[in-house]
Amino acid sequence: MIPFNEPLYVEKGLTYITEAILKYRRLNGDGVFTERCTNWFEKKCGTKVLLTTSCTHALEMAALLADIQPGDEVIMPAFTFVSTADAFVLRGARIKFVDIRKDTMNIDETLIENAITNQTKAIVPVHYAGVGCEMDRIMEIAKQHHLFVIEDAAQGMMAAYKGRYLGTIGEFGAYSFHETKNYTMGEGGLILINQKEYVHRGEILREKGTNRAQFFRGEVDKYSWIDLGSSYLPSEMNAAYLMPQLEIAEEINERRLKLWNLYYEELKELEEKEKISLPYIPKECKHNGHIFYIKTRNQKERTELIQFLGQYDIKAVFHYIPLHTSIAGCKFGEFVGRDKYTTEESRRLVRLPMYYALKEEEIKYVTACIKKFYEKR
Ligand SMILES: *Cc1c(COP(=O)(O)O)cnc(C)c1O
């Protein structure tokens, strides 16, 4: 059986967890391993970083930092995970869904301005499959209309747009370390804070509304409750699992890209025969091999392909049901303009098995099965 995903495990994962437990004797948050992970990201990304319990929580923190209030409007694509919207709905915002681009499945930057009203407070680009949105244009629009840009870069670690890491371009960015992502701690994430003035409040929100972070740095002699907040810090055991992956982050990224490129090479002939479509990477973008997807001609063919691969012990899966067609999506938001691609393209998309431990022979087996499926079609 070739599963769709296998959570990343690298050597030293268990060693570091054991160290957290037996050497440092500390399991709660903000110990040695959280600090090492944070430093690694801050050095790499050049922004302030706070490790969180999930990307969902990082997005919730961003919504709080952007001071989203009931009645505010937030613009995002409908082709995304529920958390992108939930974080803002929790603050009472209305979601304005904008159509995606057919080529990258990312928000269509040319349609954003049409969705802006006096209530609009933020734009939330989602970098699908670790392929960057058209950030120059998005930042320009945000500047002109005084809006926050909060990047849902859950899938975007190591990927870049015009040489800048995804998640570091807007005011805030969020990564996920869920077990399905390129780097993982089971459940976890982080928020990237690009402007210094938000760092202080970010630390307070994350520590139940207290200035405990300042206290531990010795900047204040006691800590107390000074703002609203929640508990957004992960356990040291989770950070210890993530740390060794960061030590070989480049190697992991290169491996994924190699696997991604092999899929692409093997399936090119089917695209040339116009049987399937392959992903498109704009020249401004350096991606991270997070997802390898193909698009079938229609939804019926997709269902048949997924079933066919299942018979050969290959687990392929579809992805998001567009949020504006869901119960909560209808309640908390609406689509602005025409849904030209969101629904149609999401119905054609199939994700193929993709994980660090996947082998070249397995990819050749998967692609051979796909070619077999299309033989008579
Ligand atoms: C995975 C994912 C999330 C949620 O990440 P968690 O860490 O599970 O909260 C949010 N947005 C997108 C686009 C994702 O892919």
Place of tokens 């040339």: 272
Confidence of residue 220 (pLDDT cuts 50, 70, 90): very high
- Span 328-341, pLDDT tens digits: 999 999 999 999 99
Alpha carbon of 176 to ligand 1 centroid (Å): 6
pLDDT for 274: 97
Confidence of residue 5 (pLDDT cuts 50, 70, 90): very high
Task: Quote the percentage of the chain above a pLDDT of 70.
Answer: 100
Confidence of residue 209 (pLDDT cuts 50, 70, 90): very high
Q: How many residues does the chain have?
A: 377
Alpha carbon of 300 to ligand 1 centroid (Å): 28
pLDDT for 226: 95
The answer to whether the beta carbons of residues 108 and 101 sit under 8 Å apart is yes
Counting from 1 in the atom list of ligand 1, the atom nearest the Cα of 189 is 7
DSSP state of 330: H
Confidence of residue 241 (pLDDT cuts 50, 70, 90): very high
pLDDT for 39: 98
pLDDT for 181: 98
Beta strands in the chain (DSSP E): 48-52, 73-77, 94-98, 120-123, 148-152, 160-161, 164-165, 172-176, 189-193, 285-286, 293-295, 333-335, 349-351
pLDDT for 290: 98
Q: Is 157 in the pocket of ligand 1 (CB under 6 A)?
A: no
pLDDT for 329: 98
**CB neighbour class for 200 (10 Å; exposed up to 12, middle 13-18, buried from 19):** middle
Q: What is the mean pLDDT of the chain?
A: 98
pLDDT for 106: 98
DSSP state of 273: T
Alpha carbon of 263 to ligand 1 centroid (Å): 24
Instruction: Report the candidate in 317, 244, 256, 265 with the shortest Cα–Cα distance to residue 287.
Output: 256
pLDDT, average across residues 151-168: 98
Confidence of residue 104 (pLDDT cuts 50, 70, 90): very high
DSSP state of 170: S
- Span 256-290, pLDDT tens digits: 999 999 999 999 999 999 999 999 999 999 999 99
pTM confidence score:
0.98
The answer to whether the beta carbons of residues 279 and 292 sit under 8 Å apart is yes
Confidence of residue 251 (pLDDT cuts 50, 70, 90): very high
Confidence of residue 67 (pLDDT cuts 50, 70, 90): very high
pLDDT, average across residues 86-95: 98
Q: Is 55 in the pocket of ligand 1 (CB under 6 A)?
A: yes
3-class SS at 115?
A: helix
pLDDT for 87: 98
Choosing from 50, 60, 61, 81 the residue with most ligand 1 atoms within 8 A of its CB, the one to mutate for a pocket test is: 81
Q: Is 84 in the pocket of ligand 1 (CB under 6 A)?
A: yes
Counting from 1 in the atom list of ligand 1, the atom nearest the Cα of 56 is 9
Alpha carbon of 83 to ligand 1 centroid (Å): 6
Confidence of residue 86 (pLDDT cuts 50, 70, 90): very high
Element (H, E) at 236: helix 236-247
The answer to whether the beta carbons of residues 5 and 355 sit under 8 Å apart is yes
pLDDT, average across residues 10-31: 96
Element (H, E) at 158: none
pLDDT for 121: 98
pLDDT for 352: 98
